[in-house]
Structures are given as C-alpha cells and as structure tokens.
Structure 1
Amino acid sequence: MSASTPQSDRPARPADRRVSARIGAIAESATLAVDARAKALKSAGRPVIGFGAGEPDFPTPDYIVEAAVEACRDPRNHRYTPAGGLPELRGAIAAKTLRDSGYRVDASQVLVTNGGKQAIYEAFAAILDPGDEVVVPAPYWTTYPESIRLAGGVPVEVVADETTGYKVSVEQLEAARTENTKVLLFVSPSNPTGAVYTRDEVEAVGRWALEHGLWVLTDEIYEHLVYGDAEFVSLPALLPELADRTIVVNGVAKTYAMTGWRVGWVIGPEDVVKAATNLQSHATSNVSNVAQRAALAAVSGDLSAVHEMRTAFDRRRQAVVRMLNEIDGVLCPEPEGAFYVYPSVKGLLGKEIRGRRPATSAELAGLILDEAEVAVVPGEAFGTPGYLRLSYALGDADLAEGVGRIQKLLAEARD
C-alpha cells in the first residue's frame, strides 16, 4: 500500500496557491481604478468628466522638458547610475529642502525613488518588523495602509471627520497607542481632505511622538499647495530633536505637474536611507536617468510655475466648494491645501435617485458615474464611508460642467 496520500484527499497546501497570500491581499488602487474606468468610457465615446485622479491638468514646464530632451542626447544617461540617485540630484534635493522648509539635510540622507509610492513603501520596509503598528489618521490616501501591510506592519486607523476639519487630536493618537506602536504617519496638507495642521498642532503631534519614542513618516508632497492663511510646516524643521526618528517622503509630481515622470525621494537618518537604498538596488536599481535630469532642473529652478498653478487651484477650490454646498444633503468643508474636496454625502444615502437608493457612498459614486457620467472616488477608498473625494486639478470648464451635472442629478433625490 502506498504511503502517499491520494491527491484528492490531500488538503490544499500553500504551494497550490497561484498568487501568494501577501500579494493577493493587496487591494487595487481605488483612485487609479476610477481614473482608468473614466478614461475607458471616454475612449468609448462617452462624455465622462473625471474627478478621480490627483493629477494637475497643467503640462510640465518647458524648461524641465528641455532638460529631459538634452539628457536623452547625453550618452552618460544611457547607462546605469547609482541606485540611490544621481549625486547632483541628491544634493539639489537637499538644497531644495532647506530652501522650501528650513530643514537642513545632507545629500547622503536622500534616496531618489520611482515616484512617491516607492518612497513610501521603501521607508516603511526599512523600519518595520512584522507586527509593528503604524498609527494612520483617516481619511487616508489609499496607498498608505497597503504599503504598511506589504512591509509587515499593522495599520491602526484613527478617524477624524468634518467636525474637526479632518484633523486628529493628540488625545486620539494617544488612545490608539499600544506597546506595539512604532510609527506615526503624518500628512499635512492631506490627501484626500485638503486638511492643513497649524504650526501649534504640528508641534503638539511631534512632541507626543517624541515623548513616546516613536518614528514619524511625514508625506510632504503637497508642501507648496496651501491657500489663504494656511501654512505648511515641516515637522523635522520645527522639532529638530525629532529629526533622527523622522522620515520625509516627497517628489516632483504635484509641485511641477510631473506625475508621469515618476521621481520621488526619501529623506531620513543615514542608516535608514542606506537600508532603503539597498532594497531599491535589488528591486529597481536607479530611477530613469532622463527623469532624474528633468527632476534636477525642476528642484533647482524657481517656484514660478507652482505659483501659477496654485492660483488656478485656489480659484477652482472656492468654486467647487460653493457648488457642492448648494446641494441638499451635501456638506463640503473648505480645504486649506492640496487639490481635493472631501464632502460628506451621508444626507443623501438611502434616498431615491432615478429609481435607485444608494446605501453607501460607493453605490452613490457608481450612480453618479452611470447617470451623470462623472467619475468621483467614494470614501470607502480612504477608510471613511459616507464621503466622496473630488480632485479639482482639472480645467475650469470641466469642473463647472462636472459639478453641474452632479447638482442636477442629486437634486432629484427623494425620501
């Protein structure tokens, strides 16, 4: 009699999985999924207006494009370069960081990455061990918790809503802290809400992290997009004593309308940056040299381009807030940064709209796409159901038309 067990009686083994449990658990990027669906519908001839992707509608400034053209002609850029980034770009990023946020770092503390997403993942991977907890204020950008899980960490959500301007308090953070807490994720200005913490609030959060010996990962990608009296404050510049346990992630995507160029960076203590660089050396090697040369031109130049974009975004911000607040059942706080609004639509859930009664913001977003041909991202993607995120980084005419369609559709809501 054979000692082997018949295959039909054998329990499923991990080796029988076609996709690993770790990767199979990753959720698709909701923002990119909404953007892809909107673009597919437009390609099919439907007049869809997309508020899904966080992407400036402006072209990359000409001087940056020209730097890339010249880089293509230079044979030096046809070869491998250091995995951590071109030395001149790392130095320029250090100089730009001092110029823009008052935070003094050395080029050795900079790692150039393939966009902000790689920067976020590699930063978490460099400091997290299995089971380490990361406090994540919600609403959060959809990529943060997935990056934490991929790195072996555990995201612990702390939820804020419109009553506090979508900002969490130190008391909330302390209530979420456990003996396994290792990192605080801190983002200001925020995606998806546009919330901006004041200088006093930033200091209070930083001192709490310092008191408890926590790491802080702070995403500064929207540093130049603040409006009115709001002020961007860099946490390690404000509290230098926290710098040795702070990692900053940033990039050229939002400031210079360079989302497709894929250049971001990590700034942190040298040992952490070295560890993240080692990871990148095996994962992707160097970032495209042409894109790095373009980024060098961007961060070495002045900020006139972003000033023009910010003026347009500010105008659109005020328009979209006004139009959304005209809809019964919608409450839209005015964001102070980034280029998103995050209105509550709880007052519309369960109401009848064209024969349907959306019970969730995800169902409402689907209804808006089907009936108004406008793409928005539901709050479920950001950890807080009952909301929608709209990016106002699109042309004024499209913005007015798109929100106008939403107004017309939701005006039909009935009990």
Structure 2
Amino acid sequence: MIQFNISDRTKFMTESATLKMAQMARELKAKGHDIINLSLGEPDFDTPIHIKEAAKTALDQGQTKYTPVAGTLELRKAISEKFKKENNLQYSPDQIIVSNGAKQSFANLCFAMLNSGDEVIIFTPYWVSYYEIVKLADGVPVCLDSTVENNYKPNAEDLRKCITAKSKMLIFSSPCNPTGTVFHEKDLQEYVEVLKDYPNLIVISDEIYEQIIFDNKHVSIGSLSNMIERTVTINGFSKGFSMTGWRLGYLGGPKEIVDACIKIQGQFTSGAAAFTQYAGARALTSDLSPTHLMRDEFKVRRDLCYDLLSQIPGLVVNKPEGAFYFLPDIKSYFGKSHNGEVIKNGDDLALYLLHDAHTALVSGEAFGAPNCLRISYSLSREKLREAISRIAVALGKLS
C-alpha cells in the first residue's frame, strides 16, 4: 500500500468549520431528518435578474476566453468608481485586482506580503479563514480579543499592546463575520490614533458585508486621514448581490502591494472568469434596489431573532448592526448534561443541538470564540422561528 507523505502545512490546517457543519447537516437531511441549517454564511436570495442576464449576454457574445490576471479593465474601472463614490477611497484601476472571491484576495495578499514569522493582528472573533490562511502563508496570527459585553469591539489600547516589531498586518471586517459588529467612524478613529505610531503596519479592511448594515452608514477606514496609503480594502459580490457561487471578489490597495498580488494570482489561478466579470460590472453600475430590499429583510429577521434569542435563559446576546449573524455567549451551559451527555464546550453544544434540535449551528471555536455559537439568519422568518423554538426546547433539557 502506498503511503502518502502529506505536507506539514496541510496537516496543521483546520478544516473549515462552517463547511464541515453544513456537510453534517446535509448528511442527516439525506437520512430523512428535518434539519434547519443556520450554519452557512450565504444569503437565501437569488442573484438579481439583471445580473444573471448580463452573464448570459456575455456568454452569447463569446466572452469565454482568458482574462487579464488583474481583471478586465471594464470591471476594474467600475470598482474604482464604486470605491470613489460609495467609500471615499481613491484607488485607480491599476491599484485593483479581481479574484475568485474575497477569500482569494486575502490569500493573495498574505502570500505576497508575509515572510516567515511575520505577525498578523486579527480582530477576534474572526472569520474562520483569516487564521488558517495566515498560518498557510507562514505568518503568525495574533488574536486581539473582544467579547459580547463590549459588542465585540476591541479596545484601542489593547491594539497597541498587540503590536510588536514583527507586526506586519492588521485585519478586521466591518460588518463582521461572525458577530455582525459594525465599526463606526468613532471606533475606527480610535484605532487610527494608535496606528499613527506604527506607520509601517498594513491595515486590511474586509468590507464584503458593507451593503448589509441596518442602523448606520458604512465607513471605510481607508477614507480616514492619511490611511489610504497603508490600507488594503477587500470586497466582493457574494453577500451584497447574493452571488456566492459566482466566486468574484476584489481588493484595492497601494500599487506595489497590488502588483505583488497579481504575481501570486498569475501563478495560482490567473484571472477570474470572463462572463462573471462582465456581470460584476453590471452589478456595480446598475440599480441597487434588490440589494436594499434584501438588506431590509435581513433587518426584520435580525429584530425577530434578537427578540426570540433574548428570551432564552443562559444565552448572552447582543444586537448586531450588520451582516446576518448572531454570536451569543453560551458558556453558562458548559458542564450541564442531558441523558448522560455532558456539554464541555461549544463543539459539544453545537453537536447536541444538531442531533437533539435538528438545527445546525457553528461552534465559536472556529472563530476564536470558544464560549460562543454562531447563528446565521439567512433563512425565512418561519424557519427562524421554528429553529429558535427548537433551540430553546433543547437547551431547556440541559441540567
């Protein structure tokens, strides 16, 4: 029998917890169980019709060939204009690279910028792939923790304490996956005041959820005083336009950094698909009313879930301002049991709820928040009511 010697970097990587839980939910559903899946970060809306029609037009026009590694000029011009009008960011088309999703944008950046031992400060809780991609690029993740009690916003002085001579980059998302936290201009300005003392620290702002903010206006940290020269802004089409399966993302940043990312992408995947880029340009330059309708529905669901979750004893929950997630603290259930099954951590509780409540959630362990569970409210209101009812009943059995 052949023995394959898998690389060390692969052995030390962690499987995506969100995808793993989704797979477990599918397997149970295939066996006939009525599973409600609150584990995936995917809008339940269809891609707007005019964007799909644009893709069809591109295919009919024969846009099926290789594209420039950095992306088509048409799309990069549209992104540049979007950055200027919506975010007050001045990135010219040659400061933009289009990728196969925002995840690849971040991976390109890490492989382009990190040397062995370079530290990347990550606002925690974090999106699952930040930590793993930094490790894969031979960097060192440094977690800057926050809790539900402070609405998952790290203290600016705690940021200062994280910065060392090895600090190379800082990454955060606003709105945040998995917390729904939105960093307001006041919050960002406090971080900027600290960052002034560390001019070589690169700031990465993941703004993939910017279109899903309920109560305030989105602010890009790169638009603040003297930040554009050191800020890389990542965005994409998956969330705001419900285009998760299209795999189309982008970043804007200093030209030297973008050129390095182009080198990396040129060897890994080359350019994103031609017809998806054509549709992406259409998305950015056309009517945003479908996006706004989706945002408004998510707000209704947010309010519904907050009311229901707040009534469950033992859950500590805050009211997120964006994206479509809750990250309640569930540590009060640790040490409790049902039918001899002891809940020791978030992984145990997630599995218990999957099998007892037939509801799929993701343990906060994967997000750097071991005392939490992530709940995605990207399902109908009816499904959300049923899911939270099931959760409440199952948690009530623990003693």
TM-score (norm 2): 0.97
Corresponding residue for 1:293? 278
1:17, distance to aligned residue in structure 2 (A): 6.0
1:190, distance to aligned residue in structure 2 (A): 0.7
Corresponding residue for 2:51? 64
Q: Is the 8 A contact 2:157 2:194 kept in 1?
A: no
Corresponding residue for 1:184? 170
1:400, distance to aligned residue in structure 2 (A): 1.0
Corresponding residue for 1:85? 71
1:142 is matched by which residue type in structure 2?
V
Q: Is the 8 A contact 1:196 1:231 kept in 2?
A: no
Indicate yes or no: 2:336 matched with 1:351.
yes
Q: Is the 8 A contact 2:66 2:273 kept in 1?
A: no
Corresponding residue for 1:119? 105
Corresponding residue for 1:158? 144
Aligned length: 396
Give secondary structure in 2 for the equivalent of 1:313.
helix
Indicate yes or no: 2:213 matched with 1:217.
no
1:302, distance to aligned residue in structure 2 (A): 2.6
What are structure 2's unaligned runs of at least 5 residues?
Answer: none
Q: 2:319 aligns with which of 334, 340, 357?
A: 334
1:331 is matched by which residue type in structure 2?
V
Partners of 1:91 and 1:372 lie apart in 2 by 49
Partners of 2:339 and 2:239 lie apart in 1 by 37
For residues 208-247 of structure 1, the aligned pairs below 5 Å read 208-213=194-199, 214-228=201-215, 230-239=216-225, 241-247=226-232
Partners of 1:48 and 1:311 lie apart in 2 by 26
Q: Is the 8 A contact 2:36 2:360 kept in 1?
A: yes
What are structure 1's unaligned runs of at least 5 residues?
Answer: 1-15
Q: Is the 8 A contact 1:332 1:342 kept in 2?
A: yes
Give secondary structure in 2 for the equivalent of 1:249.
strand
For residues 1-400 of structure 1, the aligned pairs below 5 Å read 18-75=5-62, 77-213=63-199, 214-228=201-215, 230-239=216-225, 241-400=226-385
Give secondary structure in 2 for the equivalent of 1:183.
strand
Q: Is the 8 A contact 2:64 2:273 kept in 1?
A: no
Partners of 1:91 and 1:231 lie apart in 2 by 24
Give secondary structure in 2 for the equivalent of 1:78.
coil
Deviates more, 1:386-395 or 1:30-39: 30-39
2:246 is matched by which residue type in structure 1?
W
Aligned-pair Cα RMSD in Å: 1.2
Q: Give per-residue Cα distances to partners, 1:349-397, cap 9 Å, x unaligned.
A: 1112343220101100000001111000011011111110011111111
Partners of 2:172 and 2:15 lie apart in 1 by 23
Q: Is the 8 A contact 1:126 1:276 kept in 2?
A: yes
Q: Give per-residue Cα distances to partners, 1:47-76, cap 9 Å, x unaligned.
A: 10101111000000000000111111122x
Partners of 2:184 and 2:69 lie apart in 1 by 37
Partners of 1:44 and 1:218 lie apart in 2 by 42
Which one has a bigger Cα radius of gyration? 1
Q: Give per-residue Cα distances to partners, 1:117-156, cap 9 Å, x unaligned.
A: 1001111222211111011111111000111112221100
